[in-house]
């Protein structure tokens, strides 16, 4: 079912939405910096930045989350789990790459053996309204990782910016709940045609040349390659790429307590931090940047595929855009390709 939503109705549409749902959408914190946040006022929603720094994974897997609270008393310490969320949620304005990434994280968190109930609860209660990318950036290589700027998979509703209005397509049962929305008008053939044009234009812009295909097998042969000795040199070991990456999902668990009361909290962690794998005995299986950079790239392009059948990268380009030293994952992938022995711009010597 396809509808048209005029931009002049957009704020009211959001206001309506917020009566029933908790709305999560991109918010501009300062010019050039956007994150996904819970919206208090509809005016906060800002869809101008194609790749917000923090991705939509924040909505299902917050950077900082209380897992349970406890209070020690005479006889026992009742533990109160914090897994339930209040209202149903709507995630609006995430791009297809971020939505693809949710599925990648989901495969780990919702397993056959154990289920991360915190993630599951939010996942079940969220309606996803994805926004298509009319103008992908040159750093976008979603089409190399099996995605695309107009890819609808995983969305409940799919929005396309037509200039003066949005085209909204309802895709799932959750989406159909919006079919009677009072701001949705009938979409005409003009709109449908415009969508097709935009889609074709966008498809040409994303980079499909990055050789992600077959990288798992190529990396199998490279576990001890001297490639790792060089590639890690410029990485300074911060957590920018891991925290901004929509598929990275490592976390740390700590207790925060004062006397008898406290909570167990989980926070995002990064495999690039030196103490990430440091054992109490002092032994660190990944003592230098070489092992840690290898771990990050192998996890994304070799270990995760072995377990789940696809690479854990959606080609969003955040790590390229925001890395302080311009580490470019595309060059690393190219280097592993048998077709090229050097990256496009330089050599990994």
Partner 1 sequence: MKNPYLPIPMILKKARIETSDRMLRTLELTFRHPEDEEKFRYVPGQFCELSALGKGEAPFGIASSPTEKGSLKFTINKAGLVTTELHRLEEGSEIGIRGPLGNGYPIDLFQGKNLVIIGGGFAFTTLRSLIAYFLHPENRARIKGITVIYGARMPGLLLYKEELLEWEKRDDLRLVTTVDWGDKDWKGKVGLVPNVLEEAAPSAEETYAVICGPPVMIKFTFPKLMALRFPNERIFTSLEKRMKCGIGKCGRCNIGHLYVCKDGPVFSYGQLEKLPKDY
Partner 2 sequence: MIQQKLREKAKELLSSKTVDLIIGYGSWTLPLRTTPVFIRAPEGVESLVWNSFCENNLTTYLHKFSRLKVGVVVKGCDARSVTALGLEKRFPNHRPLLIGIPCQRMVDRKKVKKAVKGEILQAVEQGELLLVKGEDFNVTLKREDFLYSVCQVCTHRTPLHADVLIGDPVEESPLVDLHPDVKALEGKSPEERWEFFQKEISRCIRCYACREACPMCYCSECFVDSSRPRWIEKSLSPSDLAFYHIVRAYHQTGRCTGCGACERACPMDIRLTHLTQKLNQEVKGLYGFETGIQPETLPPLSTFNPEDEQEFIK
List of residues contacting partner 2 (CB under 8 A): 29-33, 35, 53-54, 63-64, 135, 137-139, 230, 233-234, 236-240, 243-244, 252, 254, 256, 265, 267, 269-270, 273, 275, 289, 320-322, 324-328, 330-331, 344-347, 349
Residues 145-164 that bind partner 1 (CB under 8 A): none
With binding defined as CB under 8 A, does residue 280 bind partner 1?
A: yes
Provide, rounded to whole angstroms, the least separation between the CB of residue 308 and partner 2: 26
Per the structure block, which two tokens stand in for 238?
Answer: 């911060």
Provide, rounded to whole angstroms, the least separation between the CB of residue 260 and partner 1: 8
Per the structure block, which two tokens stand in for 271?
Answer: 């495999």
Planar angle of CA 24, 28, 33, nearest 5 degrees:
115
The alpha-helical segments, DSSP class H, found in the chain are 10-20, 57-60, 96-109, 117-124, 173-176, 189-205, 215-220, 227-231, 240-244, 289-298, 304-308, 318-322, 329-336
Determine contact, residues 52/257, Cβ cutoff 8 Å: no
Residues 168-227 that bind partner 1 (CB under 8 A): 223
Residue 176 or 253 with smaller CB distance to partner 1: 253
Determine contact, residues 262/69, Cβ cutoff 8 Å: yes
Residue among 218, 286, 290, 310 that touches partner 1 (CB under 8 A): 286
Planar angle of CA 69, 71, 77, nearest 5 degrees:
100
Q: What 3-state class would DSSP assign to 94?
A: strand
Q: What are phi and psi of 166, to 5 degrees?
A: -110, 145
Q: What 3-state class would DSSP assign to 151?
A: coil
Residues 50-89 that bind partner 1 (CB under 8 A): 67-68, 70, 72, 76-77, 79, 81, 83
Residue 127 or 139 with smaller CB distance to partner 2: 139
Residue 322 interacts with, from partner 1, partner 2, none (CB under 5-8 Å by kind): partner 2
Q: What 3-state class would DSSP assign to 30?
A: strand
Cα–Cα distance measured from residue 223 to residue 206, given in angstroms and rounded to the nearest whole number: 30
Residues 225-254 that bind partner 1 (CB under 8 A): 249-254
Residue among 179, 255, 325, 341 that touches partner 1 (CB under 8 A): 255
Nearest to 316 by CA among 50, 49, 105, 62: 50
Nearest to 329 by CA among 301, 292, 309: 301
With binding defined as CB under 8 A, does residue 348 bind partner 1?
A: no
Residue 283 or 339 with smaller CB distance to partner 1: 283
Residue 302 interacts with, from partner 2, partner 1, none (CB under 5-8 Å by kind): partner 1
* Residues contributing to the site for partner 1 (CB under 8 A): 67-68, 70, 72, 76-77, 79, 81, 83, 108-109, 111, 113-117, 120, 223, 249-255, 257, 262, 264, 266, 269, 271, 276-281, 283, 285-286, 291, 294-295, 298-299, 302-304, 306-307
């Amino acid at each position: 079912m396809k509808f048209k939503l005029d931009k002049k109705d957009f704020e009211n549409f959001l206001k309506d939405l917020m009566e029933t749902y908790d709305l999560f959408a991109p918010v501009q914190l300062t010019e050039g910096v956007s994150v996904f946040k819970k919206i208090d006022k509809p005016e906060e929603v800002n869809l101008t930045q194609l790749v917000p720094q923090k991705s939509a994974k924040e909505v299902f897997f917050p950077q900082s989350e209380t897992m349970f609270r406890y209070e020690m008393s005479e006889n026992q310490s009742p533990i109160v789990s914090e897994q339930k969320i209040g209202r149903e949620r709507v995630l609006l304005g995430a791009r297809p790459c971020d939505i693809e990434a949710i599925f990648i994280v989901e495969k780990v968190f919702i397993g056959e053996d154990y289920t991360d109930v915190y993630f599951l609860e939010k996942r079940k209660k969220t309606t996803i309204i994805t926004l298509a990318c009319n103008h992908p950036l040159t750093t976008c290589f979603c089409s190399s990782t099996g995605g695309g700027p107009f890819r609808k998979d995983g969305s409940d509703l799919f929005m396309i910016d037509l200039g003066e209005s949005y085209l909204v397509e309802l895709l799932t049962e959750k989406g159909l709940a919006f079919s009677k929305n009072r701001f949705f008008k009938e979409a005409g053939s003009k709109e449908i045609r415009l969508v097709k044009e935009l889609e074709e234009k966008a498809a040409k812009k994303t980079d499909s040349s990055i050789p992600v295909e077959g990288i798992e097998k190529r990396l199998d042969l490279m576990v001890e390659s001297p490639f790792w000795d060089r590639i890690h040199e410029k990485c300074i070991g911060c957590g920018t790429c891991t925290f901004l990456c929509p598929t990275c999902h490592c976390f740390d668990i700590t207790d925060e307590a004062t006397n008898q009361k406290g909570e167990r909290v989980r926070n995002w962690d990064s495999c690039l931090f030196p103490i990430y794998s440091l054992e109490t005995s002092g032994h660190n299986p990944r003592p230098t940047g070489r092992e840690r950079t290898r771990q990050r790239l192998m996890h994304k392009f070799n270990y995760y595929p072995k377990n789940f059948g696809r690479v854990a990268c959606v080609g969003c380009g955040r790590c390229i855009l925001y890395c302080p030293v311009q580490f470019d994952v595309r060059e690393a992938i190219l280097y592993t390709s048998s077709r090229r022995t050097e990256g496009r711009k330089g050599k990994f010597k």
